[in-house]
């Protein structure tokens, strides 16, 4: 099978290497050619960790047409801020009825619908996952480490009646995915914002001054920081309940995904071996993404449905001060998602019933 992967960071190279080692044809895109220069020349990617081998990459290019033409599955691993631009540039070239899978979703299936309509490409399906199914990092140019894989990752589409068809085809190649009930589940289940944003804020000196040696998870979490994670996570879960969703806590998902043990969130993160040695070379970019596409829409939805969210609000406002950015203005809102003026039941209907999608 042919796959295009858009974004050649750790996530993109991890997905590309994982699928290529299974014998599939991989075409890798990155906006800046420098990052993929070694792959473009050698067509080889060393993969180590839970899977190992030399993966063959059919093409690594900064030309989108070369990468996505005649490919049925397009995997987007670029950060959320680039989703709209990247998908819009793809639409003239992707084949009819192509499936674009966004890892990690951050409301992509809803956010990208206006582009499909504008370009008359409603034949294209946008699917989103809760998270990337793999834990991976670039060791050096041409070498990706896959240190862990999640046991199961939710996937959903908008319109919702396409979820089962996408799952039936995709899980053969990416067995970790399973069908979610709606894109509410995939986007609200994402635990990255509730973990990364508090860790970064309460380790700001390390984030700003020595992020390239600071082990983000193992050194960044204390009992107090874990308490903040628990507080914002409880607000996420309260919103889920208001929308009729039964989702797990962040700590429970980590334990399920990675078979980690721990009685508390603090113990769970400390025992999370797959990410124990991780350093984030540019954590402020992660924070920006998770504020704009994670916590800002979370608070917007909480405000809409009368769910208190003081911790999430504090985090957004604190980071707005730290970075001099108004994340309330930059972040995704209910209106951006097409939820304005809708009740919780109307929102659920919108993302679960085909006849309500227009």
pLDDT, one tens digit per residue, over 295-324 is: 999 999 999 999 999 999 999 999 999 999
Close Cβ partners of 266 (under 8 Å, ≥ 6 residues apart): 221, 222, 223, 226
Average pLDDT over residues 127-138: 94
- Look at residue 114 in the predicted model and tell me its pLDDT: 94
126/226 Cα distance (integer angstroms):
34
Burial-class residue 282 by CB neighbours within 10 Å (0-12, 13-18, 19+): exposed
Average pLDDT over residues 52-68: 97
- Look at residue 192 in the predicted model and tell me its pLDDT: 95
DSSP 145-161: EEEEE-S-EEEEEESGG
Q: Please say if the pLDDT value at position 160 is more than 90.
A: yes
Which residues of the chain are in CATH 1.10.1040.10 domains? 192-356
- Look at residue 354 in the predicted model and tell me its pLDDT: 53
Q: Please say if the pLDDT value at position 269 is more than 90.
A: yes
- Look at residue 358 in the predicted model and tell me its pLDDT: 38
Question: Edge-to-edge, what's the strand order for the sheet holding 2-6?
Answer: 59-61, 25-29, 2-6, 73-76, 99-102, 125-129, 153-158, 177-179
Percentage of the chain with pLDDT > 90? 92
Averaged pLDDT of the chain = 95
- Look at residue 281 in the predicted model and tell me its pLDDT: 82
Which residues of the chain are in CATH 3.40.50.720 domains? 2-188
Average pLDDT over residues 247-269: 95
- Look at residue 270 in the predicted model and tell me its pLDDT: 97
Q: Please say if the pLDDT value at position 84 is more than 90.
A: yes
Q: Please say if the pLDDT value at position 356 is more than 70.
A: no
Overall fold of domain 2-188: Rossmann fold (3.40.50)
| Region label for 337, one of left (φ > 0), alpha (ψ between -120 and 50) or beta (otherwise) | alpha
Average pLDDT over residues 248-268: 95
97/94 Cα distance (integer angstroms):
8
Overall fold of domain 192-356: 1.10.1040
Question: How many CB atoms neighbour CB 271 within 10 A?
Answer: 15
Q: Please say if the pLDDT value at position 27 is more than 90.
A: yes
Burial-class residue 2 by CB neighbours within 10 Å (0-12, 13-18, 19+): middle
- Look at residue 57 in the predicted model and tell me its pLDDT: 97
- Look at residue 282 in the predicted model and tell me its pLDDT: 87
Average pLDDT over residues 106-131: 96
- Look at residue 357 in the predicted model and tell me its pLDDT: 46
pTM: 0.92
């Amino acid at each position: 099978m042919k796959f295009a992967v858009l974004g050649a960071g750790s996530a993109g190279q991890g997905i590309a290497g994982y699928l290529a080692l299974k014998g599939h044809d991989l075409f890798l895109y990155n906006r800046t050619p420098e990052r993929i220069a070694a792959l473009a020349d050698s067509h080889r990617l060393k993969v180590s960790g839970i899977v190992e081998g030399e993966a063959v990459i059919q093409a690594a290019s900064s030309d989108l047409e070369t990468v996505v033409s005649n490919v049925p599955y397009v995997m987007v691993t670029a950060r959320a801020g680039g989703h709209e631009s990247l998908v819009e540039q793809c639409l003239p070239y992707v084949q009819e009825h192509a499936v674009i899978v966004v890892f990690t979703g951050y409301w992509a299936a809803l956010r990208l619908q206006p582009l499909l309509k504008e370009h008359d490409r409603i034949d294209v399906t946008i699917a989103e996952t809760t998270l990337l199914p793999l834990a991976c990092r670039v060791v050096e140019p041409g070498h990706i480490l896959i240190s862990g894989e999640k046991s199961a990752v939710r996937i959903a589409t908008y319109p919702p009646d396409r979820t089962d068809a996408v799952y039936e085809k995709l899980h053969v190649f990416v067995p970790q995915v399973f069908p979610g009930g709606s894109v509410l589940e995939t986007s609200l289940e994402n635990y990255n914002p509730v973990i990364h944003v508090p860790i970064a804020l309460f380790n700001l000196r390390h984030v700003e001054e020595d992020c390239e040696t600071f082990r983000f998870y193992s050194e960044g979490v204390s009992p107090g920081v874990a308490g903040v994670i628990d507080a914002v996570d409880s607000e996420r879960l309260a919103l889920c309940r208001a929308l009729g969703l039964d989702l797990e806590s962040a700590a429970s998902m980590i334990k399920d995904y990675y078979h980690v043990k721990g009685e508390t969130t603090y113990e769970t993160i400390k025992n999370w071996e797959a990410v124990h040695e991780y350093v984030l070379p540019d954590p402020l970019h992660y924070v920006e993404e998770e504020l704009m596409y994670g916590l800002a829409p979370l608070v917007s939805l909480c405000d809409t449905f009368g769910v208190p969210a003081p911790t999430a609000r504090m985090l957004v406002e604190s980071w707005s001060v730290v970075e001099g950015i108004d994340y309330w203005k930059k972040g995704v809102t209910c209106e951006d998602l097409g939820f304005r003026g809708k009740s919780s039941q109307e929102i659920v209907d919108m993302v679960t019933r085909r006849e309500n999608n227009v």
